[in-house]
Amino acid sequence: MKSWLVGATTVVLAFMLTPAGAAHADDGVPVPPNTGLTDTAKGTVSAADKDFVIKVRLAGLWEIPAGNMAQEKSDDPNIVKIGKSISAQHVVLDELDRAVAKKLGIDLPNQPNGDQQGWLAEMRNASGGQFNQIYVDRLRAAHGKIFPAIATIRASTRNDSVRKLAQQANQFVMTHMTLLESSGIVDYGALPTAAAPVAPGQKGPVPIDNQMIAAAGNGGGVPGLSNTVVLLVLAAALVVGVITTMRIFRSR
């Protein structure tokens, strides 16, 4: 037990002390800086913000023991390494999350939820290649589910501490998804597909807005045009039609 704590502490300290500039990205692809975001607990905290902080805590409550099991049960050195990295990094993220929760007065759970306990039970009852597949698939699916939720909070929250936590959580989750995918055994076909795009509400080639529909239903004509103008246009069209018809008959 002591040796595991020493190892985990070493990995965590190395992760925390690594300078931001050391992060690697493909040429031309920027790495988000960890500077410029404030953490003063200022700004309204929405129900979605609270739910996000709680979900970050829940993620650590099951992914830390899952990573520990990967180190103990897996027969694949790559899975062992992935589990060790994800578990240690969740220790760091959990500390960040609990600090924000304390500032904002958000009560956090101390046990995984029912689904997470079920996933951990699956892992405890598996071994060898079966364990590896369950570990990778369960964590990859969970990270894919929370990934868009983090983006929504990052883009919409009014609270600066939640905003910074979302920025940090986003980088953790992207790292973990990439680590899990490096195993080469992710079952992408089992992952949920993105929702189909919603077609814009149009009738025919010309968009019809609610104001036009309401005006037509009330006999009010087209918004922005008076009835007098409409009648004058119709009268002019009628005169042009009569003159054109007379010219056609005279030419015969």
DSSP 8-state symbol, 128: H
Check residue 241 and give its pLDDT: 63
Check residue 203 and give its pLDDT: 55
Contacts with 151 (C-beta within 8 Å, 6 or more apart), sequence order:
170
Q: How far apart are CA 109 and CA 91, in angstroms?
A: 15
- Give burial (CB, 10 Å; 0-12/13-18/19+) of 146: middle
Q: What is the pLDDT of residues 149-205, one digit of tens each?
A: 999 999 999 999 999 999 999 999 999 999 999 999 999 999 999 888 988 865 555
Check residue 137 and give its pLDDT: 97
The pLDDT-based confidence of 26 (bands split at 50, 70, 90) is confident
Convert 87-106 to b/e letters by CB count within 10 Å (16 or more is b).
bbbbbbbbebbbebbeebeb
The pLDDT-based confidence of 13 (bands split at 50, 70, 90) is very low
Check residue 2 and give its pLDDT: 45
The pLDDT-based confidence of 246 (bands split at 50, 70, 90) is low
Per-residue pLDDT averaged across 80-89, rounded? 98
The answer to whether the beta carbons of residues 37 and 167 sit under 8 Å apart is: yes
The pLDDT-based confidence of 21 (bands split at 50, 70, 90) is very low
Check residue 208 and give its pLDDT: 46
Q: What is the pLDDT of residues 126-145, one digit of tens each?
A: 999 999 999 999 999 999 99
Q: How many CB atoms lie within 10 A of CB 153?
A: 25
Would you state the structure tokens that stand for residue 120, as one six-digit string?
């951990």
Would you state the structure tokens that stand for residue 153, as one six-digit string?
């909070």
Per-residue pLDDT averaged across 86-99, rounded? 98
Q: Which residue has the tokens 């995984």?
A: 112
Q: How far apart are CA 84 and CA 73, in angstroms?
A: 12
Kindly tell me if the per-residue pLDDT of 226 is higher than 70. no
Check residue 147 and give its pLDDT: 95
Could you please report the per-residue DSSP string of 138-202? HHHHHHHHHHHHHHHHHHH---HHHHHHHHHHHHHHHHHHHHHHTTS---GGGSPPPPPPPPP--
| Of the candidates 152, 144, 132, 201, the residue with the CA atom closest to the CA atom of residue 51 | 152
| Of the candidates 167, 162, 38, the residue with the CA atom closest to the CA atom of residue 105 | 162
The pLDDT-based confidence of 99 (bands split at 50, 70, 90) is very high
Identify which has the larger pLDDT, 244 or 123.
123
Q: Could you say which architecture CATH assigns to the domain 35-190?
A: Up-down Bundle (1.20)
The pLDDT-based confidence of 227 (bands split at 50, 70, 90) is low
pTM of the model: 0.70
Q: What is the pLDDT of residues 29-42, one digit of tens each?
A: 888 776 789 999 99
Kindly tell me if the per-residue pLDDT of 239 is higher than 70. no
Identify which has the larger pLDDT, 16 or 162.
162
Segments in the chain forming alpha helices (H): 2-17, 47-73, 77-104, 114-124, 128-156, 160-181, 210-217, 227-251
Check residue 18 and give its pLDDT: 41
Would you state the structure tokens that stand for residue 205, as one six-digit string?
């080639």
Q: How far apart are CA 103 and CA 40, in angstroms?
A: 9
Domain ranges for the chain, please list them: 35-190, 210-251
Per-residue pLDDT averaged across 84-90, rounded? 98
